[in-house]
Amino acid sequence: MSAKQKTRIRTTGLAIFGKELIRRCGSHCELCKAQGVKLVVHEVPPSPGTPDPEHCIMVCEDCQRQLLSPKRIEASHWRCLAASMWSDIPAVKVTSLLMLQQLEETEPWAAELLEQAWLAPEEARWLSDAGHL
């Protein structure tokens, strides 16, 4: 099976979670809280062998673009992480903290937020694993 076919199969598998994730997020971006915009499924690294809704979050296209292209990050957009970093959904919390880690070198507010962060042991392992990709 080619890499393209594997990607297509994984994307289809993730799309199956769409309705469940939309209900969970109340039709708003789980990071920036944008409403009335197209939402997409974002898989939080590291990806498990098979698609898992617990490793997925719903994000707006703006958040998705910046998550996938770290060189195109608009730091001011991510001030929303002050709220999402406290989410009770581990995948949202881990994604928020990963982005804060990317921003902390250039944005003092991001470093301050990271100092306040609290993680359960399994969330800390997930964050560590994702940070070493």
Spatial separation of the C-alpha atoms in residues 6 and 2, rounded to whole Å = 6
pLDDT of residue 6: 62
pLDDT class of 126 with cuts at 50, 70, 90: very high
Q: Does the structure show a pLDDT above 50 at 61?
A: yes
pLDDT of residue 48: 78
Of residues 10 and 121, more confidently modeled: 121
What pTM was estimated for this model as a whole? 0.86
List Cα–Cα distances, 100 to 17, 29, 84, 105, 109, in angstroms: 26, 17, 11, 9, 9
Spatial separation of the C-alpha atoms in residues 62 and 38, rounded to whole Å = 10
Spatial separation of the C-alpha atoms in residues 94 and 106, rounded to whole Å = 20
Q: Does the structure show a pLDDT above 80 at 8?
A: no
- Lowest-confidence region among 49-53, 71-75, 113-117, 124-128: 49-53
- 13: domain range? 3-131
Two structure tokens written together for 44: 């939080």
Domains in the chain, number: 1
Spatial separation of the C-alpha atoms in residues 111 and 91, rounded to whole Å = 20
pLDDT of residue 118: 94
pLDDT in tens, 69-122: 988 899 999 999 999 999 999 999 999 999 999 999 999 999 999 999 999 999
